[in-house]
């Protein structure tokens, strides 16, 4: 409920706006409830939905035909919270690599291909900038 106070010609009115259904609103004025019909129907505002394409966390380095080293890059600036892998670990596509905090949100970086972790360059507590190389998967 929304509450308002009005003063009209020296008289004070405490108004509470209650339930809104299509073209009818329940309003309470100084303790007395009224059902008010509007000239036109109110439409509830819809919350916008943010849609964006997935953020790429790696780039392919050409290491030869048919093979490649994936650089896992930090999509946004933030702080590393947890690292789930170490150099030499084997990972499968979808495995959690690390969690970092950016813009007051925890983000999980996952492996986008099978391989072995190489060149892990971050530890929990490190601050990283966007596009910082976090590790490579070979």
C-alpha 35/C-alpha 37 separation (Å) is: 7
Domain membership flag for residue 78: yes
What share of the chain has pLDDT > 70, as a percent?
A: 80
| Tokens describing residue 136 | 């490579």
What mean pLDDT, rounded, does the chain reach?
A: 82
Mean pLDDT of 39-57: 64
Order of strands, edge to edge, in the sheet holding 105-110? 105-110, 96-102, 78-83, 127-128
Domain membership flag for residue 29: yes
Domain membership flag for residue 74: yes
- pLDDT for 60: 46
| Cβ atoms < 10 Å from Cβ of 109 | 22
Residue-wise pLDDT for 56-112, tens only, equals: 555 544 444 445 788 888 888 999 999 999 999 999 999 999 999 988 899 899 988
Domain membership flag for residue 85: yes
Domain membership flag for residue 10: yes
- pLDDT for 17: 84
Same domain, residue pair 62 and 129: yes
For residue 62, the enclosing domain spans 58-137
Mean pLDDT of 10-30: 84
pLDDT reading at 23 higher than 70: yes
């Amino acid at each position: 409920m929304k509450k308002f106070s009005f003063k009209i010609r020296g008289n004070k009115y405490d108004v509470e706006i209650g339930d809104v259904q299509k073209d009818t609103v329940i309003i309470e004025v100084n303790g007395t409830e009224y059902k008010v019909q509007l000239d036109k129907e109110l439409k509830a505002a819809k919350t916008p939905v943010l849609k964006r394409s997935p953020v790429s966390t790696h780039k392919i380095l050409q290491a030869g035909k048919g093979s490649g080293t994936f650089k896992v890059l930090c999509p946004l600036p933030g702080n590393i919270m947890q690292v789930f892998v170490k150099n030499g670990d084997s990972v499968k596509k979808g495995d959690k690599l690390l969690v970092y905090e950016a813009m007051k949100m925890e983000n999980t970086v996952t492996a986008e291909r099978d391989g072995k972790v190489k060149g892990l360059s971050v530890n929990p507590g490190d601050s990283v900038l966007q596009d910082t190389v976090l590790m490579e998967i070979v």
